[in-house]
Structures are given as structure tokens and as C-alpha cells.
């Protein structure tokens, strides 16, 4: 056997032998058949017309036919092929010329299945060169073809990787000089490929250091520490590859030096001619920068997390607590996060029941709950320094939900809202109180956006007028205007304008509004601007409406009653004036004639008659005194008596009064003294009335002081008042009468057993006159121990 082709080293040379010697020939045929069967290749022999003459075992196996079956069959039927027309023609041409033909095409087996065959057809020629038969040798090359295709594919891929790899790849020699470089390398170097050949690694990479040294890349001081160079040299030295060595290099980029970071891998290629190293260089500067940025941001996040005022808990994907920041530990009164690590988020009894479902769907779960530290202590859940109950706001967020079906953990924000909750409760309480207060006053509330007219009223406001708010919709400031009595609108506008101009702290006005049933309701409207704009204009005003219809009615009633009373008083005064005139005229004649009679000038009146006429005279005088007193009081009350002020020398006036009373005092042997005789005090007062006051007080002192007693007048002047007092050593006044005696007709003695004469009008007049001067009068007295009447007057 000699190889016919390099790839398929199997061929057969048939020895056609002389068959005239039968026995020997038979042996020879068997020998040849055995030999042919031992060939691993499929072999079929046909005659020149293509009829099968021989088929070896390998062919039987390959095509599925037995030799017996195909004997005499045409090869075209035994091994139908899908050879192209050209191939068929080529085979014929080769065979006719006595040459072999080899090629590949698809061949069918007996069962119809097909395979790729490598076929060699060789003509059997006789001595004259005529074709006696054809030997076909075929191989199933399907597997070989597939492997070949795989090899081609991987070679193509490798080439593509080398060519198009984003990383810089180059083959370098021991001197790091470039022998081959890929596209990325050419791009990085920025030079045409032919100029790159022979350059050293550092030159290709535009290393900034080699420029410093005339010796180029590898000659500089810093080159000794260059990780790229050292890695390549080390690979040459050890013959073993290096992977992912990080190296940094200062590189010239657009004229500027920039520090870049590379990842270098090397492969040692032990080639016969000369060992080379394949260097792969990946620029990871931006990745490095990103890594640094990520590290920084992670650091920032960590700092933020640990120093955040917001309480944060971190749970893993199973919902197990892995960490809690300081604020969180603070909220729960925990010293160390280890105390609470391992808690199951989904076991938390406060967590809403549907929370897990929501979280898995990427929804945020928020809830408010109370947290009872007493329970924590009772159940020995963890050590806490806190006690009582707090209110917390909780927000649970699933992390990493952006990647579908992937939750990497849970973040829980906890906020202690106890103080705001308590404040809310306080506000609610005060709101309730306000509501109750408003309910009590039945006040309706309005809230008016002055610039837009938008107004909000409460339900009670509508109720004041018999409506519900719904009945008055659409509701606004216009609703109020329409319901207000047109005659009252001007007053409202006037008062509002005053408030808007800040003349008043409050706006207040009373007006009528129409009730649903048609009558008018008096409203007291009070309000205040609570918000002003920069121009000083009112923005928002809030106020109340109160139904004051009842008050208005009683006010009206009072006004009417007062008018009636004043009228009655006027009539009474007129009547008294008339009456006093009518009484005084006959009284004067009674007094006058009884005085004449009492004088008994003619001398014919008996003693008894004299006594009677003296009685008439005394009674007449008393009556006159009474009438005068009543008249004075009536005049004062009806406002018809005015004071006529002028300068009054008060000490002199007191002296004059003493002179007047002295005769009466002497009758009872009473002493009268005044300590202010020498003083000069001029006051502005009605002389007649002050003298009347003094006379009334002095005459009372004389009247109610037993014989041998004493009367003392004192005067005290202060900055703006003067006090004059009349003290006696008389019978005194019981305390319960101290105020009453200043009312008209009030006397200590009852009328029936009265010992002292009098009208009961003297002190009433004193009080009226003092008050007309803007002064005051009072008494200090004890029964049987004398009395002191004092009156003050402004100076
Ligand atoms: P009258 O004409 O009765 O004196 P007044 O109004 O002057 O009327 O006094 C009223 C009453 O006050 C007297 O009736 C007397 O009871 C009591 N009163 C007034 N002054 C004195 C006094 N100095 N001492 C005791 N009682 C007096």
C-alpha cells in the first residue's frame, strides 16, 4: 500500500493474475479477496459499464448492501450520488484518460440515508490501455467534515478576536519590540502599522517616561519599575504566562500626560525560530475610575447611613435583620445592633397582614403603629433603655426589585412620631374645645380669600339662616352679599374698609340677613385679616357670625322703656314743680298767718290757742322744708338742676356755715370747732350747694347730739382733693344703715316712734350735690359713740 493522498492514505493495487492454473488461481483469488476485505476502506469494483463486480466488507458496511445483493446491479442504483454535473463530467474525463479522480459528494445508502463521501475512482486498464473496469474507493467523511468546519470556525473566531478584540494585542520579542499588533493596538498607538513594527512596548503605548531618556523605552529610571515591561520580561524568563497583572502608566493623550491603568496578560510562544510573547493589554482606567467612584459613593452611603438622623434597618432577602443604624438603635433604646440582628421582618406583629405580598410586587408598605417597650421587656426580646409606649411611622421598601423576581433585601425607615402625635392630640383637643366653644356660642365661621372672593363657610353658618350649605351652593362671598339687608351693606363696607386700612384691630359690624323663612336675622359679624400680601393688602380674613336677634330685641325694648321712663320722669317733675307751687302758695299764707297769730300782738289769744297756732307754724315750716327737699331731689333727678361752679374759699364757707348753725348749737350747749380757720383754699365749686351740704351735715350733728356734746369740723387737702368731715359725739348710726341713710326718706328711727324731726331728704341731697361736683360722701359711726360724715371734692 502506498498513500494515494495525504489525507486518506488508503488505496488498493489489484493484482490481476493468470487463471489458467485453476488451483493456484483459486488460491490466489481467495488470497486477494481476503486482502481486499482487510482494507478498512470501502471498495467497489465495476466493469466499464458500471455493473458491480466486487464489493468488499467495508463497502457492505458503509452502504448497507451485501455483495450478493448488488452483484450484477449498476453502481448508479447501488450508491446513488448527488455529484454535480461538473463532477460527473470530470470523473468520466479522468477515467477515459486512464487517470484517477478523487472528490467529495453526497452518497445514499441502501436505506436512503445520506453521508458525505470522499470518493476515488480509478480505471483498470489492460495492456492496450483499454478500460477493463473501475475501482471505486470511498470513505464516510461526514465527521471529518464537521470537525473541519469546527476548526475553520474557531480559527475564524480566533482571528476575529485577535483582529477585533477591544483589547490591545501584540506579539513582542525579548526586547519588547513589536512584531505583530492588532487593530485596537494600532488605534491606541495612532500610527500606521508599518511604523509600529519594531517599536518597543512603551513607545506603542505612548508612555510619557521613555521620552525623558534618549535610550527610549526600557532605558529610563522609572522603566525598572514598569509593570508592563517587567511582566513581559518575566514571561520570557520563566516561559510561563501571566494573567491580569495591573499596571499604571503615564501616557500622552492629546499632548497631555494622563495616568492610565491597564490589565496585562501574557502568553509565552515557544516558536522554533525565536520565542515571542503575546501581550494583551486592557485599558481599565475608566473602570478603575468607576470603581473608585463606586467605592467613594459606597463610603458616602455608609457614612450617611451611620450618621443619618433617620432610623434605618436593613434586612436580607429572607427578611432577616442584618443591620440597624445608630439613629434606629437610639429610637429603640438599644446599645448594640447585635441585640436585634436576626429579627424576622415578616414575624413582626405590627407589620400589616398583606405587607409581604405587596413587597414582593415591589410596592412600598407604609404604616403607623405604637411600640410598647414594656412588652419588649416582659418578653425579654432585647435589652432596651426605653420605657412606655412610642408612636412610630414605618416605611418598608423592597430592594433590587428592578430585576424581576429578584429581591436583594428590605429597607425599613422608622420615625419616632410620639412628640408630633402628642402635639396632634393637643391640637385636636384644642380644636374640639374650639368646636365646643363655637357650638356653645352658635357661631358660624367664614374664611374669606379677599382677593379672589373665594369663601368657605361652616355648616352652622348656613344653619343660622335656616339653610344647609348644600342648599346654598354654589357658595361664596356673593351668597353672603345677596342674603344681607341692602340697607346694611354700606355700614359693612365702611367697617371693612377701616379694618383693611388697619385703623381697627378687628372688623365688627351688625347687620340683618334674610332667613330661609323670610324674616330678618340680626347678625353680629366679627373678623380679622390673618394674612396680608407684600403690598399691605388683605389676603385672607377669618371671622364669625352670631345671631343677636334676641339681644337686638331687648335692646330695642330697653330703648323704648328708657324713653318711656324719661317721659314719666319729666311728667313727674312737672307735676312736682306744679304741685310745689300749688302747695307753697297756701302754705306761705298758713306759715305767715300762724306766725302773726303766735306773736299775739293783740293779746287776746289764750295760752292754749297760742300753743296751737305755734304748732301750725312749726308744722307749716316742716311741710315747706319737705316740699323744698322733694322739689330739689326731683329737679336733680330730672336733670334740671345744674351746678354753677366758681371760685370758693372753702374755709370761709365753713365759717359762714358755723355762724348759721351756732344759735341752734347753743340751745343745746354744744361746742363747735373748726381746725382750718387760718388756711386759704380756693376750690372751683357751686358755692350755694357746698354751703347747703355743710349746713345739712351740721344741722344733723346738732340734731342727733345730746346736750353738752361737741361738733368738730376738719379739713384735709391733698394733691387733687379736699376732704371735709363733720364729727359729733351724738347717738351714732348702726352699721347696717350707713349706706341706706343717703337714700331719700331713709331714717334710722322708724316713723312711728320717731324722736327726731326731719324729712329724711337732707343726706340724699348731700349725696346728690357732692356727686354733682365729682366727689364722694360716706359715714363712719358707731351707735352711741358719735358719727363722722366726710365728703370729698376735687380741687
Ligand atoms: P333727717 O331729716 O331725718 O335728718 P337726713 O337725711 O338728714 O334726714 O338724715 C337721715 C337720717 O340719718 C336721720 O333721720 C338719722 O336717723 C340719721 N342721721 C343723720 N345724721 C346723723 C347724725 N349726725 N347722728 C346720728 N344719726 C344721724
More confident residue, 693 or 7: 693
Cα 122 from Cα 132, distance rounded (Å)? 11
CB 390 within 8 A of CB 418: yes
CB 228 within 8 A of CB 217: no
Cα 293 from Cα 297, distance rounded (Å)? 6
Mutate to test the pocket of ligand 1, among 709, 713, 732, 763 (most ligand atoms within 8 A of CB): 763
Q: What pLDDT is stored for residue 2 in this prediction?
A: 25
Quick one: which atom of ligand 1 is closest to the CA of 789?
A: 23
pLDDT in tens, 290-323: 888 889 988 888 888 888 888 999 999 899 999 9
**Phi, psi torsion values for 56, nearest 5 degrees:** -90, 175
Going edge to edge, which strands form the sheet with 365-372?
321-324, 311-316, 409-416, 389-399, 365-372
**What mean pLDDT is predicted for residues 33-61?**
85
**Residue 381, SS3?**
coil
Q: Which three cell numbers, joined as nine digits, stand for 295? A: 467605592
Query: Is the minimum distance from the CB of 728 to ligand 1 under 6 angstroms?
Result: yes
CA separation, residue 274 to residues 171, 172, 232, 270 (Å): 12, 11, 15, 7
Cα 483 from Cα 355, distance rounded (Å)? 54
Q: What pLDDT is stored for residue 34 in this prediction?
A: 75
The full 3-state SS of 123-135, as one line of letters, equals: EEECCCCCEEEEE
Classify each residue of 17-28 as buried b or exposed e, where b means 16 or more C-beta atoms within 10 Å of its C-beta: eeeeeeeeeeeb
Residue 685 bridge partners (DSSP): 646
DSSP 416-438: E-HHHHHHHHHHHHHHHHHHHHH
**What mean pLDDT is predicted for residues 79-101?**
89
**What mean pLDDT is predicted for residues 723-737?**
95
* CB-count exposure of residue 788 (10 Å: 0-12, 13-18, 19+): middle
Helix 607-637, helix 762-772: angle, nearest 10: 30
CA of residue 734 to ligand 1 center, whole Å? 12
Cα 523 from Cα 462, distance rounded (Å)? 12
Residue 54 bridge partners (DSSP): 45
Cα 208 from Cα 114, distance rounded (Å)? 65
Cα 475 from Cα 457, distance rounded (Å)? 8
Strands 721-728 and 787-794: antiparallel
Quick one: which atom of ligand 1 is closest to the CA of 742?
A: 6
CB 247 within 8 A of CB 226: yes
3-state helix vs strand vs coil in the chain, percent to 5: 45, 25, 30
Query: Is the minimum distance from the CB of 730 to ligand 1 under 6 angstroms?
Result: yes
Residue 791 bridge partners (DSSP): 724, 777
Q: What pLDDT is stored for residue 4 in this prediction?
A: 27
pLDDT in tens, 378-426: 988 899 999 999 999 999 998 876 555 678 899 999 999 988 888 888 8
**What mean pLDDT is predicted for residues 594-607?**
84
Quick one: which atom of ligand 1 is closest to the CA of 744?
A: 6
Residue nearest to atom 16 of ligand 1 (CA): 748
* CB-count exposure of residue 593 (10 Å: 0-12, 13-18, 19+): middle
Q: Which three cell numbers, joined as nine digits, stand for 514? A: 334674610
CB 789 within 8 A of CB 696: no
Cα 623 from Cα 570, distance rounded (Å)? 23
Classify each residue of 663-700 as buried b or exposed e, where b means 16 or more C-beta atoms within 10 Å of its C-beta: eebeeeebebebebeeeeeebebbbebbbbbbbbbbbb
The full 3-state SS of 725-789, as one line of letters, equals: EEEECCCCCCHHHCCHHHCCCCCCCCCCCCCCCCCCCHHHHHHHHHHHCCCEEEEEECCCCCEEE
Cβ contacts of 372 within 8 Å, gap of 6 or more? 389
Q: Which three cell numbers, joined as nine digits, stand for 550? A: 334676641
**Phi, psi torsion values for 643, nearest 5 degrees:** -90, 150
Query: What does the CA dihedral 173, 176, 181, 182 come to, rounded to 10 degrees?
Result: 120
pLDDT in tens, 523-538: 999 999 999 999 999 9
pLDDT in tens, 459-487: 889 999 999 999 998 888 889 999 999 99
CA of residue 760 to ligand 1 center, whole Å? 7
pLDDT more than 70, % of the chain:
92
CA separation, residue 151 to residues 9, 117, 140, 146 (Å): 21, 19, 19, 9
Query: Is the minimum distance from the CB of 692 to ligand 1 under 6 angstroms?
Result: no
CA of residue 721 to ligand 1 center, whole Å? 26
Q: How would residue 12 be classed by pLDDT, with cut points 50, 70 and 90?
A: very low
Quick one: which atom of ligand 1 is closest to the CA of 765?
A: 6
Cα 621 from Cα 611, distance rounded (Å)? 15
Q: How would residue 438 be classed by pLDDT, with cut points 50, 70 and 90?
A: low
CA separation, residue 136 to residues 35, 144, 330 (Å): 16, 20, 94
Question: What is the 8-class DSSP label of residue 707?
Answer: T
CB 207 within 8 A of CB 250: yes
Residue 526 bridge partners (DSSP): 508, 544
CB 226 within 8 A of CB 202: yes
CA of residue 751 to ligand 1 center, whole Å? 13
Query: Is the minimum distance from the CB of 725 to ligand 1 under 6 angstroms?
Result: no
Q: How would residue 13 be classed by pLDDT, with cut points 50, 70 and 90?
A: very low
Q: Which helix (H) or strand (E) holds 460?
A: helix 459-464
Query: Is the minimum distance from the CB of 739 to ligand 1 under 6 angstroms?
Result: no
Query: Is the minimum distance from the CB of 760 to ligand 1 under 6 angstroms?
Result: yes
Which residue matches cell numbers 458525505? Answer: 116
**What mean pLDDT is predicted for residues 217-238?**
89
The size of the chain, in residues, is 795
What's the distance, Cα to Cα, between the start and end of the chain in Å?
164
Residue 265 bridge partners (DSSP): 280
**Phi, psi torsion values for 564, nearest 5 degrees:** -65, -45
Cα 591 from Cα 210, distance rounded (Å)? 153
Q: Which three cell numbers, joined as nine digits, stand for 291? A: 470603581
Question: Is the pLDDT reported for residue 65 higher than 90?
Answer: yes
Q: How would residue 678 be classed by pLDDT, with cut points 50, 70 and 90?
A: low
CA of residue 628 to ligand 1 center, whole Å? 17
Cα 652 from Cα 658, distance rounded (Å)? 10
Q: What pLDDT is stored for residue 403 in this prediction?
A: 59
Residue 508: count of CB within 10 angstroms of its CB: 15
CA of residue 704 to ligand 1 center, whole Å? 7
Mean pLDDT of the chain: 86
**What is the CA angle 141-147-149, rounded to 5?**
100
Number of alpha carbons in the 13 Å side-chain half-sphere of residue 777: 27
Mutate to test the pocket of ligand 1, among 733, 740, 752, 765 (most ligand atoms within 8 A of CB): 733
Which residue matches cell numbers 384644642? Answer: 430
Cα 205 from Cα 178, distance rounded (Å)? 11
More confident residue, 630 or 503: 503
**What mean pLDDT is predicted for residues 489-507?**
94
Q: How would residue 7 be classed by pLDDT, with cut points 50, 70 and 90?
A: very low
**Counts for the chain of helices (H) and strands (E), in that order:** 24, 27
Query: Is the minimum distance from the CB of 136 to ligand 1 under 6 angstroms?
Result: no
CA of residue 653 to ligand 1 center, whole Å? 22
Cα 214 from Cα 551, distance rounded (Å)? 113
Cβ contacts of 400 within 8 Å, gap of 6 or more? 406, 407, 408, 409
Query: Is the minimum distance from the CB of 742 to ligand 1 under 6 angstroms?
Result: no
Q: What pLDDT is stored for residue 471 in this prediction?
A: 93
Question: Is the pLDDT reported for residue 15 higher than 50?
Answer: no
CA of residue 570 to ligand 1 center, whole Å? 29
Cβ contacts of 670 within 8 Å, gap of 6 or more? 702, 705, 707, 708, 709, 710, 711
Residue 678 bridge partners (DSSP): none
**What is the CA angle 311-312-314, rounded to 5?**
160
Cα 188 from Cα 281, distance rounded (Å)? 11
Residue 229: count of CB within 10 angstroms of its CB: 22
**What mean pLDDT is predicted for residues 755-764?**
86
CA of residue 41 to ligand 1 center, whole Å? 168
Cα 159 from Cα 11, distance rounded (Å)? 37
Cβ contacts of 480 within 8 Å, gap of 6 or more? 446, 455, 457, 513
Question: What is the 8-class DSSP label of residue 190?
Answer: T
Quick one: which atom of ligand 1 is closest to the CA of 730?
A: 24
Question: What is the 8-class DSSP label of residue 346?
Answer: G
Amino acid at each position: 500500500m502506498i498513500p494515494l493522498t495525504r489525507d486518506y492514505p488508503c488505496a488498493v493495487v489489484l493484482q490481476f493474475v493468470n487463471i489458467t492454473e485453476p488451483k493456484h488461481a483459486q488460491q490466489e483469488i481467495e488470497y486477494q479477496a481476503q486482502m481486499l476485505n482487510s482494507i478498512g476502506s470501502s471498495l467497489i469494483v465495476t466493469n466499464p459499464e458500471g455493473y458491480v463486480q466486487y464489493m468488499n466488507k467495508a463497502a457492505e458496511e458503509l452502504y448497507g448492501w451485501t455483495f450478493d445483493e448488488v452483484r450484477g446491479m449498476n453502481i448508479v442504483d447501488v450508491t446513488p450520488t448527488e455529484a454535480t454535473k461538473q463532477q460527473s463530467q470530470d470523473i468520466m474525463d479522468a477515467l477515459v484518460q486512464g487517470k484517477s479522480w478523487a472528490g467529495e459528494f453526497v452518497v445514499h445508502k441502501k436505506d436512503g440515508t445520506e453521508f458525505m463521501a470522499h470518493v476515488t475512482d480509478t480505471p483498470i486498464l489492460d495492456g492496450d490501455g483499454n478500460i477493463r473496469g473501475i475501482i471505486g474507493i470511498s470513505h464516510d467523511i461526514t465527521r471529518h467534515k464537521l470537525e473541519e468546519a469546527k476548526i475553520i470556525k474557531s480559527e475564524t473566531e480566533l482571528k476575529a478576536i485577535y483582529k477585533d478584540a477591544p483589547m490591545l494585542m501584540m506579539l513582542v520579542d525579548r526586547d519588547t519590540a513589536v512584531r505583530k499588533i492588532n487593530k485596537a493596538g494600532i488605534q491606541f498607538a495612532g500610527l500606521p502599522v508599518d511604523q509600529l513594527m519594531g517599536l518597543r512596548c512603551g513607545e506603542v503605548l505612548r508612555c510619557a517616561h521613555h521620552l525623558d531618556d534618549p535610550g527610549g523605552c526600557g532605558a529610563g529610571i522609572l522603566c525598572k519599575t514598569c509593570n508592563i515591561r517587567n511582566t513581559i520580561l518575566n514571561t520570557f524568563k520563566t516561559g510561563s504566562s501571566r494573567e491580569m497583572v495591573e499596571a499604571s502608566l503615564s501616557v500622552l493623550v492629546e499632548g497631555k500626560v494622563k495616568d492610565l491603568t491597564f490589565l496585562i496578560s501574557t502568553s509565552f510562544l515557544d516558536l522554533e525560530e525565536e520565542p515571542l510573547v503575546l501581550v494583551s493589554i486592557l485599558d481599565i482606567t475608566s473602570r478603575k475610575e468607576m470603581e473608585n467612584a463606586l467605592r467613594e459613593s459606597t463610603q458616602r452611603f455608609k457614612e450617611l447611613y451611620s450618621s443619618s438622623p433617620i432610623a434605618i434597618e436593613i434586612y436580607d432577602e429572607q427578611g432577616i435583620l442584618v443591620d440597624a443604624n445608630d439613629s434606629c438603635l437610639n429610637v429603640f433604646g438599644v446599645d448594640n445592633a447585635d441585640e436585634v440582628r436576626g429579627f424576622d421582618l415578616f414575624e413582626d406583629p405590627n407589620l400589616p397582614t398583606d405587607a409581604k405580598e405587596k413587597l414582593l410586587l415591589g410596592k412600598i408598605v407604609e404604616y403607623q403603629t405604637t411600640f410598647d417597650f414594656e412588652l419588649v421587656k416582659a418578653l425579654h426580646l432585647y435589652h432596651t433603655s426605653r420605657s412606655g409606649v412610642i408612636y412610630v411611622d414605618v416605611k418598608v421598601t423592597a430592594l433590587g426589585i428592578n430585576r424581576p423576581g429578584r429581591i436583594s433585601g428590605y429597607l425599613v425607615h422608622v420615625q419616632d412620631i410620639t412628640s408630633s402625635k402628642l402635639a396632634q392630640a393637643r391640637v385636636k383637643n384644642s380644636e374640639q374645645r374650639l368646636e365646643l366653644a363655637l357650638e356653645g356660642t352658635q357661631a358660624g365661621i367664614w374664611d374669606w380669600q379677599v382677593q379672589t372672593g373665594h369663601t368657605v363657610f361652616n355648616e352652622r353658618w348656613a344653619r343660622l339662616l335656616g339653610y344647609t350649605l348644600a342648599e346654598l351652593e354654589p357658595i361664596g362671598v356673593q351668597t353672603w352679599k345677596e342674603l344681607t339687608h341692602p340697607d346694611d351693606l354700606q355700614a359693612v363696607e365702611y367697617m371693612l374698609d377701616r379694618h383693611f386700612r388697619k385703623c381697627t384691630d378687628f372688623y365688627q359690624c351688625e347687620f340683618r340677613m334674610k332667613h330661609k323663612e323670610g324674616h330678618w336675622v340680626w347678625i353680629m359679624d366679627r373678623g380679622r385679616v390673618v394674612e396680608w400680601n407684600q403690598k399691605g393688602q388683605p389676603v385672607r380674613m377669618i371671622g364669625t357670625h352670631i345671631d343677636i336677634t334676641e339681644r337686638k330685641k331687648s335692646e330695642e325694648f330697653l330703648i323704648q322703656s328708657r324713653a318711656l321712663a324719661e317721659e314719666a320722669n319729666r311728667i313727674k317733675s312737672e307735676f312736682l314743680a306744679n304741685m310745689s307751687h300749688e302747695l307753697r302758695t297756701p302754705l306761705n299764707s298758713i306759715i305767715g298767718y300762724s306766725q302773726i297769730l303766735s306773736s299775739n300782738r293783740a293779746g287776746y289769744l289764750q295760752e292754749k290757742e297760742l300753743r296751737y297756732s305755734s304748732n301750725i307754724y312749726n308744722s307749716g315750716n316742716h311741710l315747706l322744708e319737705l316740699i323744698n327737699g322733694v322739689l330739689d331731689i326731683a329737679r336733680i333727678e330730672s336733670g334740671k338742676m345744674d351746678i354753677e361752679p366758681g371760685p370758693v374759699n372753702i374755709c370761709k364757707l365753713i365759717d359762714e356755715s358755723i355762724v348759721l348753725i351756732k344759735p341752734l348749737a347753743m340751745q343745746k350747749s354744744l361746742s363747735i370747732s373748726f381746725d382750718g380757720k387760718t388756711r386759704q383754699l380756693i376750690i372751683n365749686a357751686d358755692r350755694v350747694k357746698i354751703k347747703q351740704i355743710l349746713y345739712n351735715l351740721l344741722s344733723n350733728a346738732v340734731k342727733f347730739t345730746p346736750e353738752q356734746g361737741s361738733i368738730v369740723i376738719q379739713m384735709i387737702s391733698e394733691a387733687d382733693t379736699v376732704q371735709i368731715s363733720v364729727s359729733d359725739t351724738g347717738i351714732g348710726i348702726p352699721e347696717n344703715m350707713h349706706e341706706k341713710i343717703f337714700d331719700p326718706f331713709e331714717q334710722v328711727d322708724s316713723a312711728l316712734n320717731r324722736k327726731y324731726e326731719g324729712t329724711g331728704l337732707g343726706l340724699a341731697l348731700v349725696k346728690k350735690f357732692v356727686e354733682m361736683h365729682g366727689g364722694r360722701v360716706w359715714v363712719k359711726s358707731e351707735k352711741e359713740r358719735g358719727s363722722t360724715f366726710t365728703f370729698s371734692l376735687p380741687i
